[in-house]
Structure 1
Amino acid sequence: MTDAISIAGSGMNLHRKWLDAIADNIANANTVRGGDDLAFQERFIVAQEGEGITGVTADAALGDTEGQLVYEPTHPLANAQGYVRYPDIDLSEQMGQLIMAQRGYQANAAVVDRAKTAYEAALQIGRG
């Protein structure tokens, strides 16, 4: 039973990190940099199977720095050619990922709750 709680806890940790990465991406979707500078790098979370019965591990990865060059000659950060660089972050994709990450977190939290209830019931049986 403790394995179920440990595995679900690792899933909750993974989904929390995913939610953090999505929040960072949404917050920086309109971050402007000079046309000669690197764009904000989108954050990704890479899930990997843990060893044995340890659940999952979460590693961070970064997107490309290319972004999108936009012609805005009046922008204070524009380069000599009048371009600024925006990150290549799709907000609708981020919102879809946000829903999946929230649901995953909720599902793992439900597993922890049910395992805790089963553990408490087993303790009551042992007392009786």
Structure 2
Amino acid sequence: MTFDAIGIAGTGLTVHRKWLDAVSDNLANANNATSTDGAAFQARYVVAQEGQGVSGVYVAGAEFGDAEGTMVHEPDHPLADENGYVRYPDIDLSQQMGSLIMAQRGYQANAAVVDRAKSTYEAALQIGRN
């Protein structure tokens, strides 16, 4: 039972870490402008799924945002086209910050499960020694 808890929480730690990586990458690139003839940075979204035949959760893959991005009129920008437009990623910062908080809390919760399961296992070993 304890090893199951550690294993399941371990898969949760991995998924939440990858989610945190994706969100941090999205936040870091939210203000990256490109020329209008290039593609905008595409936000990455982690897709998780229940383990098949085993307990836990796993990263099934990633989905990506729209490469079209949003066109912003900034005629003084060095990458602006002849009409004064540049392309920015279509990333909603408030949505990303919400995802960041959820991923952090999920990671913390899974880390707490691992810690408590480890403590329980150690206590059981102590009982067995006595």
TM-score by length of 2: 0.93
The offset of 1:55, in angstroms, is 0.8
Cα pair 1:7 1:53 within 8 Å, conserved: no
One-letter code of the match for 1:107? A
Aligned length in residues: 128
Equivalent runs, 1:1-128 vs 2, <5 Å: 1-58=2-59, 59-128=61-130
Segments of structure 1 that go 5 or more residues without pairing to the other structure are none
TM-score by length of 1: 0.94
The offset of 1:42, in angstroms, is 0.4
For 1:85 and 1:54, the matched residues in 2 are separated by 43
The secondary structure found in structure 2 opposite 1:61 is: strand
The offset of 1:111, in angstroms, is 0.6
Superposition CA RMSD, Å: 1.1
For 1:64 and 1:107, the matched residues in 2 are separated by 32
Segments of structure 2 that go 5 or more residues without pairing to the other structure are none
Runs of 4+ in 1 over 6 A off after TM superposition: none
